[in-house]
Amino acid sequence: MKAKREALVSLFTAMREGKVDEDIIDLLLLINSINGVYTTSSCSGRIGIMEEPDLGAKPLARWLIKVHRPMEFEEARGALRNAEKGLIFLKSQPPIFHIVAEDLEGARRLHELGLSSGFKYTTFKVVSKRYLVEINATEYLTAPLGRDGRILVDDEYLSFAVDLGNDMLRRSKGRLPRLEERFRALREELGGDELFYELAERFEVKLR
C-alpha cells in the first residue's frame, strides 16, 4: 500500500525529529503495525493558552503555551505576559487519532473500537477515496481570558480554569490504556504488517 508506506516514512521521520507526542509513540507504532490500517495526524491531548486574531481565525492563531501534560498555574500566568493582539483563550483538548482503513469494513471496526474505548466523538468518513476514522473524545474546554494583551480575569478564575482543564485532560488521557488494549486485540486478529516492520528496521525504530 503506497499510501501506508508514505505515512510510515512521515511518522518515522517525525519521530527522529522529536515531533511526535512521546506519550502516544508506542500506541501509534502499535496501530501502524496492524494489517490494513495506518495513522495520519494524531495528538496525545493538550492544554494551553492560545491567542487568536479574531473569532474563527485559527490559521493565524498562536500558542502562548502548549503542553501535553497537566499545566501548572504559574506556567499559565507567565504565558499570559506574552499576550499581544487578539482574543485569549485557555484550551484543553483530548487525545485524537486519525486512522485510515483500507476498506469500509475496517473503518467500521475502528469506529466501534474507538466508541467501546470511551472515545464518544469517534466518527468515520470517506476522504479522497480513503476511509478515515477519527477517534476523539468529548472533553473539550475553551475558556476566554482576555483580549489584546489585557487579561480580564483574576488569579482565582485562572486557577479554576487551569484546574478544570487539567482534570479534563487527565480524564481523556485515562482512556488511552483501554484503547491500546483493544488495538492489541485487533492486531492479534488481523495480523502484523510486514511493511511496517521493514521500515521500522530501516529507520532503526525501537519496538517494544
Give the pLDDT confidence score for residue 143 in this predicted structure.
Answer: 98
The larger pLDDT score, comparing residue 58 to residue 155, is at 155
Radius of gyration of the chain (CA): 19
Q: What is the largest CA-CA distance in the chain?
A: 56
Contacts of 51 (CB under 8 A, 6+ apart): 61, 62, 63, 64, 83, 84, 85, 86, 87, 88, 89
Q: What is the pLDDT, as a whole number, of residue 47? A: 98
Q: What is the pLDDT of residues 148-205, one digit of tens each?
A: 999 999 999 999 999 999 999 999 999 999 999 999 999 999 999 999 999 999 999 9
pLDDT tens digit string along 83-127?
999 999 999 999 999 999 999 999 999 999 999 999 999 999 998
Question: Residue 58: what pLDDT?
Answer: 75
Distances (CA, A) of 64 to 52, 67, 86, 166: 10, 10, 12, 17
Check pLDDT > 90 for residue 54: no
Say what the pLDDT of residue 128 is.
82
Angle among Cα 97, 37, 46 to the nearest 5 degrees reads 10
According to CATH, what is the number of the domain 37-187? 3.30.1960.10
pTM: 0.93
Task: Encode pLDDT of 13-26 as tens digits.
Answer: 999 999 999 999 99
pLDDT tens-digit map of 128-139: 889 999 999 999
